[in-house]
Structure 1
Amino acid sequence: MGEKMKLYGFNNLTKALSFNIYDVCYAKTAREQKDYIAYIDEQYNSERLTGILTNLTDMIGAQVLHISQQDYEPQGASVTLLIAEGSMIPAGSTQVAHLDKSHVTVHTYPEYHPETCLATFRVDIDVATCGEITPLSTLDYLIGSFDSDIITMDYRVRGFTRSVNGRKLFMDHKITSIQDYIAQETLERYDAVDINVYEANLFHTKMMLKEIDLQNYLFNTDIYELPPKKRLDIMNSLRREMIEVFSGRNIY
């Protein structure tokens, strides 16, 4: 990809989807907390994240131009894909690539808090596309690719393009809510709230899992090993953590 690419019929509308996913876990000892971080670090290493983003690129009909990936010490990983819309348009005796350059990035942040015995795994995903392709169709795939307890999403369309008669277009697809692009069976599992600014082509949705199956939040612990009061205390701690992350403020 060393040579410069010629652009033909360029659409400069930029569609940016920012996606934050949080997974919360209870680990009762310092050893379990470290083991949880190590487990998450292995499950979502840069190799697996690259596979997720590569599948996403295929789903939106783009092609990968370059991949950069990195695992960090003591924990975390990052992956960046340079992508492009990949149609080929004949131009005289040559082939001119219609490539609207875009990118996809993901960063992971596993962490734990010793005093609360809670561990949080945060994933930040950014998908920026130029031209006709939009990342909204990949939402269910992204939600299903991670253990998503809380999700916050921002979608913004910037710039403008022109119709064939010269009229400026500041939006080339219909949207009233990010939720319109999420399957109903997925939405039924979450409480969802929208904050949309239509004049600015800015859409925000946040989601929190409705039901908590405590066993899914215990790391290396069986729920039946815990007395009822301890189970209730853990459930309350998990729910408080999730509500504060969902609300974006300290409540308790």
Structure 2
Amino acid sequence: MDKKLKLHGFNNLTKSLSFNIYDICYTNSEQQRRDYIEYIDEMYNAERLTQILTDVVKIIGANILNIARQDYDPHGASVTLLIAEHEMPPEPSETTESPGPLPETVVAHLDKSHVTVHTYPESHPDNGISTFRVDIDVSTCGLISPLKALNYLIHSFDSDIVTVDYRVRGFTRDVDGTKHYIDHNISSIQNYLSEDTQNSYEMIDVNVYQENTFHTKMLLKQFDMNNYLFGDGTDAFTLDEQKDIEKRLKKEMQEIFYSRNMPDL
């Protein structure tokens, strides 16, 4: 894919990015649990999510056609953006296998199809663990890959665990009629992440190259108890209580990361 493809008609490839982010915390009481969910609903309401998706659209190079958004009762929010391909073709740097911009350096650009986000706050019934999940899907048709939005999205949320799936579907034809099932080089989703992001997470890749399917799981390496206690600091708990809470939190993160329930240690 080093040479620019000369296509017969429109680029019919569909590039789909599915992105799941999990934020984990410990709530010490029923009131703290309610306060946490209320905080999440306020912090990531439909208006804030719309702004995040609007920035994603700019990063990957498109125009917004329509916005539909909704806050839910008792909690959660959804936003859907319909998008159209930008009139100008992307710069080479926007389609190469390299990290995209961070939130403070957002630049312009996107393609056609849609961008959606849904939020899911929830809590464990009896052990104090609360989680917040964000599902983001970016689907584009044409020249542009949605992978350039990854850095921005990871830095826009408190991301303890991240799951990323990317797939290129369909085919397009060149002027000689030859089918092309992908139009850009990619060996790993990790190559689209900035160095600080790669250093901050433990990562696992599962890639099926012949199917143009790429999967990466990410687990935050650093564990600071104060970052996981909602409404309290470590001084509110004894050392034994802190150890027990840490064990619960790490078990929750391991279960989400490996997608299976684990026995108590």
| 8 Å Cα contact 1:67-1:80 kept in structure 2 | yes
**Structure 1 segments (4+ residues) deviating >6 Å:** none
What are the ranges of 5 or more consecutive residues in structure 2 without an aligned counterpart?
A: 1-7, 90-109
Residue-pair matches, total: 236
| 8 Å Cα contact 1:30-1:114 kept in structure 2 | no
| 8 Å Cα contact 1:25-1:120 kept in structure 2 | yes
Q: CA deviation at 1:166?
A: 2.0
Q: Deviations over 1:61-97 (max 9, x none)?
A: 11100000000000000000001112079xxxxxxxx
- Larger CA Rg, structure 1 vs 2: 1
Are 1:224 and 2:235 matched, yes or no?
A: yes
**Higher alpha-carbon deviation: 43-52 or 222-231:** 222-231
Aligned to 2:195: 184
- Out of 130, 133, 137, the residue aligned to residue 148 of structure 2 is 137
Are 1:68 and 2:79 matched, yes or no?
A: no
| 8 Å Cα contact 1:108-1:124 kept in structure 2 | yes
Aligned to 2:41: 41
Structure-2 separation of matches of 1:88 and 1:134 = 15
Structure-2 separation of matches of 1:163 and 1:9 = 8
- Out of 243, 246, 256, the residue aligned to residue 235 of structure 1 is 246
Aligned to 1:172: 183
| 8 Å Cα contact 1:75-1:110 kept in structure 2 | yes
In structure 2, relative to structure 1, the CA distance for the partners of 1:137 and 1:101 (3 Å cut) is: closer
| 8 Å Cα contact 2:173-2:179 kept in structure 1 | yes
Partner amino acid, structure 2, of 1:148? S
Q: 1:132 aligns to what SS in structure 2?
A: coil
Aligned to 2:167: 156
Q: 1:41 aligns to what SS in structure 2?
A: helix
- Matched ranges for 1:71-110 at <5 A: 71-87=71-87, 101-110=112-121
Q: 2:41 aligns to what SS in structure 1?
A: helix
Partner amino acid, structure 2, of 1:41? D
Q: CA deviation at 1:250?
A: 0.5
Aligned to 1:20: 20
Greater strand share, structure number: 1
Percent same amino acid among aligned pairs?
Answer: 59
Q: CA deviation at 1:147?
A: 0.4
Q: Deviations over 1:173-213 (max 9, x none)?
A: 00011101111110111100001111111101000011111
| 8 Å Cα contact 2:162-2:217 kept in structure 1 | yes
